[in-house]
A and B are shown apart, each in its own frame.
Chain A
């Protein structure tokens, strides 16, 4: 911690505890120890004191041990040449400050000096009455707001302390917070002038209804917001008085609050900020102060300085906007967009909608132009959150039904974001854009093909609305658990298009290499998928880099991202554990996991064998693999193939026989990309065992199979594999294999 700040905080604490003591002595002398002390319409006595020390203050005399306790937390100011750590001392002093401040307010209530009366401001109306600042937030309001803070409708609160650069800036700061549904708590002054004065002069309405609460024009009033936070922990965290640590932790992770210090900061403000840091609430200053950037007590930075005039912006209003943006980022507050600002209806009901040629206003990609989409991760500082930029002309000048080039570049940053998640997020673009009525999206990467309908264009839908949609969705649930910031660039300019499509293709290439290099040996954990257990209760998909889920919808990276996004969901990490048989692909971890999650009915499972303990089959597998003993190999039927097979069963009767969570040696459901994996039934001889395969499969990924055939050392392997056109009985199959000299006939017996 900065020595400067620590020294100031410790000094401030020493002074305020002294002040509290003197005030208490004076009040005791005047009113006696039995004079009542209480905050109006609130439970929990003086809540900070009660929450942390269990002391139930209800009369002046009860405050004596509180002051004593605060004194014990004080430390001497670090001397000039002392370089020992003083974070603990500063935090202790912060707590002492809060106890002293709350004691002072308690005494002032006892003396009738609180809530603060502001003369000359008839516009000031609060729960405490006309002309009065608010004092503590009452219990009814605490519960009403508390529910919204817990369920996320209200992202958090921001304490504005001091005095803004101008009235105009004060108003803008408050508006920016209000716009995001963040509670605004006001206190403090600089040389006697408070942001409360500033807002009153600008006729800003305050009170519970507008989410703007003026607590008082002195720094000490900042204790009320901290009392509110403490009471939240007691009310919503199920915590008891005296659970000091638990209450602070509750606030750190559940109450998204921060302090923004406006104007010069004195010792008492530093001391109060040190108190707030105990709760995990960071402090941001609009002046030059030393920063405390490492994380620890707060989730991210502790103290950040953003000198107002140095903020990049065209005027003070824009600077105020950016200051608030930064505050939100530092506290990690998630703000969601309730309604996407586009002129057409939006929802998953529109996903399947087609835009036919005759109804089309404009298209991007397809046969006549190019379109690509590229999502990449950047450092948070490189992103201006919410920026949507159109690089080049829109489509207004383009003739109806024309086709033009378009690049969609999305840049995201997040403290939990990883480069591996880029393709997972990028694939969402398809769903996000399709959900807009009048927009059709097909494909991905640089084969994207997008159409906008005439009616959407007539309603005012333009390219920038793609940006609005993408920004809102990536910042919405559940993606906001990994995306903190996002900006979107829509490119039509030919030069920029050329540059960006090059960068995108480079990235696609790198991703392909990375995925190819991702082997089962290279990772320590696989992932589960138990999504299908609602109809196949004993089925557990074990998903490894080289074996994707049976349905084909989830690969290992998808699962990794899904787990990060939804930690309690169906995709859980499975540590590989002990390697029991590398040939079969048997590890202790997956076996234990499958046992525990299959209602204890499956205890043995391998990853690479169809004969020995194969994985269970759900019901939504893309292909069925079945051993044909007579042919010494396996056949593969795809879901799309309705024809009879040499096994004497169609796909649907096989699904009925082997699906539903059963483990059947000799039968296995797979995702079709597993067929091309080097780990495809590698324990049983690999792809050379394939004697029959639906023609649909052969035709749907010819290039991939060609590569597999070459890898297996039999370049014309696919031509030697029979299909429903050449054989639908075992006899026909055997004749066909003999004729084509299929390698499986010469392999070791599969059974």
Chain B
């Protein structure tokens, strides 16, 4: 039997500072009982590194702003323990061309913008997000392998059309990623973009390209604390300063292992706060890509009626995946649907106290 709401101690009462009668709640119609409780505070010794993405004209780039990520000295949003100077950042993923395998819901949402990465980027910028992630496809529209030159010109177009700091992902195949990201790094020299993904197979090259042209890397390891930490060590051994490394512990969609990713991120963050210097990188994760790969988001036909409205379900899938990850310490979440962006920004604005 369910316990009636009135009898459970309210969360707001537990975390309420011990001044009776001064607490406001967003929860409409819920009674607030003021109780004097001393809030237990954990004293952490470590802190996440502050990493700056993008370079404005003053720093030799052309971005309209820079974006700081990380810097927190406590678990997500527990800023009564230690400051959380930066809100989790929202990035939106676009592709270099109209993708072949995206859900019709996404195709509808972005419409003709998808035919031109420059226009797409502009549309993203209008959503008032923090970052733009451009992911390069393995093949071009005609089906031939994307060349380094094509990638270079797409990056140039996107850089010219938006002022957002940029993350660029290769197609995800070691050899191809090396070829494409090295060219992209050169094209975007000075812009302080993030090159990804940088993994245990390609890190030497991607890191060298980042060092040669003043960029950052997105260090991806497979949902494992030690592998993530080891990759950070290897990257810093090659010579890239750690304030130019984002850590990407890999994630999965709701219902497909998000709890596994959550656990890895949580442990990485605990290790960071406990003072392990090689786990103190801000974390970037890609809930958009993961959620939209799954049947619940991608498919609208031949599914049980109980699944309900397709569009709402798909957006909820992405939003809930991202919400979970924001709670486990994500510093950047990469999304795909504009409505998910709105909902996650709304969530963050309610949870984050502007670093005060």
Contacts and interface: CB of A to CB of B under 8 A. Distances in A.
A235 B211 contact: yes
A729 interface: no
B224 A534 contact: yes
Interface string B182-206: 1000100000000000000000110
A502 B304 CA distance: 72
Contact of A600 (B205, B223, B264, B274): B274
A236 interface: yes
A147 B212 contact: yes
Contacts of B263: 537
A237 to B, nearest CB: 6
B208 interface: yes
B225 A537 contact: yes
A743 interface: no
A135 to B, nearest CB: 21
Interface in B195-237: 204-205, 207-209, 211-213, 222-227, 230, 233-234, 237
Contacts of B224: 533-534
Interface string A223-262: 0000000000001111000000000001000100000000
B355 interface: no
B205 A599 contact: no
B208 A147 contact: yes
Which of A147, A151, A250 is packed against the most chain B CB atoms within 10 Å?
Answer: A147
A152 interface: yes
Contacts of A533: 224-226
A152 B234 contact: no
A150 interface: yes
A568 B208 contact: no
Interface string A533-576: 11001000000000000000000000000000000111000000
B212 A237 contact: no
Nearest to A597: B226
A335 to B, nearest CB: 16
Contacts of A238: 211, 239-241
B233 A568 contact: yes
A148 B182 CA distance: 10
Interface in B243-275: 263-264, 267, 270-271, 274
Interface residues of A, number: 24
A143 interface: yes
A530 B226 contact: yes
Nearest to B206: A151
Nearest to A151: B204
Contacts of A147: 182, 205, 208-209, 212
Contacts of A152: 204
A47 interface: no
A568 B230 contact: yes
Contacts of A146: 208, 212
B267 A599 contact: yes
Contacts of B205: 147-148, 150-151, 153
B15 interface: no
Interface string A112-128: 00000000000000000
Nearest to A143: B212
Interface in B52-99: none
B351 interface: no
Contacts of B241: 238
Interface in A163-204: none
B14 to A, nearest CB: 25
B230 A569 contact: yes
A153 B211 CA distance: 17
A150 B226 contact: no
A238 B227 CA distance: 25
A151 B238 CA distance: 9
Contacts of A151: 204-205, 207-208
A97 B240 CA distance: 32
Nearest to A146: B212
Contact of B204 (A150, A250, A599): A150
A531 B182 CA distance: 32
14 contacts: A143-B186, A147-B182, A150-B205, A151-B207, A236-B208, A236-B211, A236-B212, A238-B241, A531-B226, A533-B224, A534-B227, A534-B264, A537-B225, A537-B267
The 3 closest A-B pairs by CB, nearest first: A151-B204, A150-B208, A534-B224
